[in-house]
Structure 1
Amino acid sequence: MSALVYDCDGVLADTERHGHLPAFNATFEEFGLPVRWSDAEYARKVKVGGGKERMKTLLTPDFVAAAGLPADPAALDGEVARWHRRKTEIYTGIIRGGAIPARPGVRRIAEAAAAAGWTLAVASTSAEPAVRSVLELAMGPELASRFAVFAGDVVRRKKPAPDIYAYAVRTLGLDPSAVVAIEDSRNGMLAALGAGLACAVTTSAYTGEEDFAGASLVVTSFGDPPPRETVTRVLHDPLGVHPGPWVELADLAAVLSAGPPPPPPWQELT
């Protein structure tokens, strides 16, 4: 049985810049924390998997003292958990407001995969309520109900560790060789490859310049035919899939049929 496993942020919708970043900053303001992330700073933070983990990068001794936070590690973890719960509430409100559109082609390909009997899933390091809100935005309630969702703290180690993908594959009883993961970042790609999955990449707002050696296909988006016409640009096609102006399910099936791409001879994948 073939399977399609999407990442969430940057894949289903370009949510980092217009969803997560303003939600983090609104949370910092509500809690009186002396920080606001700029777009340039957040471009670095997105390389840290998981929202709580990004927040914890703030916790230098100087920041803890300036913010009047507890020094006890357990109490500090509790504070971060409170921030993150509120940030998730703010973020899901942004998503439900409908201001962030789904990325081109993600729903079209999921509909084709569902019709062809493929298993559908999402594997993300974001909190599960946030993931489900983006999934419903991108797919609509009916198609979203066809997806298995693996998110947040269901595994301890976040991407680029392969744990979330390995857990999804194991839970769904899938053969890794029949699964294609859709990612937008190098960390996500490394997680998928580490779990033995093929990976197709659709680059997003903060990831266009990342190194995707090891991916089976790298495109600017999946694209869509008219009337929503958005043409994809192929950035890397080591298997010779040769998608047309928009990526089709048949192209992802070809990725699986071709097997893994040749390893890059000049570097490691970690």
Structure 2
Amino acid sequence: MVDAAIFDMDGLMFDTQHIYDEMWGSACKKLGIPLVPGLVEDTRGTIGKNMYAVIRRYYGSAVDPSKLWDENKRLTYASLEKSVPKQPGLDELLTWLGCHHVPMAVASSSERDIVRHNICTAGVERFFSDVVTGDMVKRSKPDPDIFLLAAQRLGTDPSRTLVLEDSPNGVRAGHAGGFITVMVPNVARPTTELLKLADGCCRSLFEVRDLLEEGQI
């Protein structure tokens, strides 16, 4: 049995990653710039300086990264204002962990207001002891800072803490921090690299619960 569990949010808890992905195109259109192939994939799981660096890598000085990201956020928040689609098995996994007194935290690159909005709208906020967001650390995924801070606040050792992630950068961050890292793929498919880094790969959150129940995690 693990001592604690840390959840990514977009794409892992909620089926929101595709919304963020789609809004990059909408934001680019709004600002009158082309959506460069690769931008969507490389920005997943990043925030702040790391995200801006990705945007600059694709557009150079032709685009203000903060304006592009702000437009993406505005469009995304409007889309999620009334409902947040939960991933299958989320309620069941949270209930199982709660019944076994496993402390849980959310560690998301999204900003605190959207994380709070999503978990409250979905009715799952009661399960989480803490919420750690990208603006609370200097380096975003694939650096492990956000997970290390979450573990510190939960009072658990990374080697005894489960990290659940769907994104490549999140899996890299979990592995780099020495966590028990399980990938639950959503938009991004597991590559050979990711399968080597992850301690496990599950098709759904139902499968994560089953493996925990069987003592395989």
TM category (shorter chain) comes to 0.7 to 0.9
CA spacing shift, 1:123–1:117, aligned 2, 3 Å: same
Q: Give the TM-score normalised by structure 2.
A: 0.81
Matches of 1:52 and 1:135 in 2, distance apart?
Answer: 25
| 1:157-200 Cα distance to aligned partner (Å, 9 max, x none) | 11111111111111222232331110113321221122221111
d(CA) in 1 for partners of 2:150, 2:136: 10
**1:1-270 equivalences in 2 (<5 Å):** 2-17=3-18, 19-30=19-30, 32-36=31-35, 41-42=38-39, 44-46=41-43, 49-50=46-47, 53-59=50-56, 64-65=61-62, 80-98=65-83, 101-137=85-121, 140-141=122-123, 143-147=124-128, 148-209=130-191, 211-223=194-206, 247=210, 249-251=212-214, 254-255=216-217
Identity %: 21
Question: For residues 11 and 143 of structure 2, what CA distance do their matches in structure 1 show?
Answer: 18
Which structure dedicates a bigger proportion of its chain to helix? 2
In 2, the alpha carbon distance for the partners of 1:180 and 1:158 equals: 19
Q: Which residue type is aligned with residue 102 of structure 1?
A: K
- Report the Cα offset of residue 50 of structure 1: 2.3
Residue type of the alignment partner of 1:45: D
Unmatched segments (≥5 aa) in structure 2? none
* Structure with the larger RCO, 1 or 2 (CA within 8 Å, 6+ apart): 2
SS in 1 for 2:210: coil
**What's the TM-score, normalizing by structure 1?**
0.67
CA distances 1:95-143 after superposition (whole Å, capped 9, x unpaired): 2343x63212122111111122111111122222233333335xx33x3
Bigger radius of gyration, 1 or 2?
Answer: 1
Provide the alpha-carbon RMSD of the alignment.
2.9
Deviation at 1:42, TM superposition (A): 4.6
Question: Unaligned stretches of 5+ in structure 1?
Answer: 68-78, 224-231, 233-242, 256-270
Q: How many Å apart are 1:248 and its aligned residue?
A: 5.3
Q: Is the 8 A contact 1:51 1:84 kept in 2?
A: no
Q: How many residues align structurally? A: 214
